Amino acid sequence: MTSMHDGAAKELSVGSGHSTSKRLFEDQTVSASVVFLYVAAGLVSHLPKYRLTIEKNQQLKVNLMLLDELRSVSSLDQLTGVLAANKLWVACHLVLLSLLTLWALTSRSSSSTSTPRPSRKPDSKMTPDPVKLDSPKDTPFTPQELSQFDGSDPSKPIYVAIKGIVFDVSSKRDVYGPGGSYHVFAGKDGSKGLGKSSLKPEDAVPDYSSLSQEELKVLDDWVAFFKKRYNIIGKVVQS
């Protein structure tokens, strides 16, 4: 008898537990629906009575007449009662509202990403003004003559030669003049040093035959740079 009573008590306890869990789940579901639709009811409470009709495929019509009842709700308890009596309506429209919200967010995101933003204009401070250069000249200079234009005499221009091409760099006297960071190349052809990116006096020589392919590319870049920035006033010739 005791075991039977114990078994019955356990079954009653389990059944009661299932019933309580089921009621708790239903209460939580209704509560979530209440919060969601209470906000919706507040939004539509300021609008005229609408009859939303959705026609799709075979003229399927969904009449949202229950919005009228929501508009007349004045307390949370009344709203709970209305929703409890229309569980199917609540479930269907929660799904509908979720789909509409997802569609709206997706559409907005795709439209914002598909619209290209206008490109930013380059900063004029970072873009140097184009240099207006004179027509190239082919005045011959021997190495001895070229050495007179190393900036030591302030009355004379400063010349730098690269691959036999003589450039007038007087506009950058602070760079190529005495005390300047590139003064080692002034008044001479220092092609090898430019290709090696070396400021050593022993590398500032015209013979660049020992340069690697990568260093030759660097040297060509220097020539291209000088041609855009400085006037060509001659070429180096052997005496």
**Which alpha helices (DSSP H) does 115-176 contain, by range?**
143-146, 173-176
Helix, strand, or coil (residue 36): helix
Work out the pLDDT band at 73, boundaries 50, 70, 90. low
Q: Report pLDDT digits (tens) over 106-162.
A: 776 555 444 344 333 333 333 455 678 999 999 999 999 999 999 999 999 999 999
49 and 71 Cβ atoms separated by less than 8 Å: yes
Specify the CATH number of the domain 139-236: 3.10.120.10
CATH 3.10.120.10, the chain: domain bounds: 139-236
Question: Which tokens go with 189?
Answer: 């052809």
Q: Report pLDDT digits (tens) over 194-211.
A: 999 999 999 999 999 999
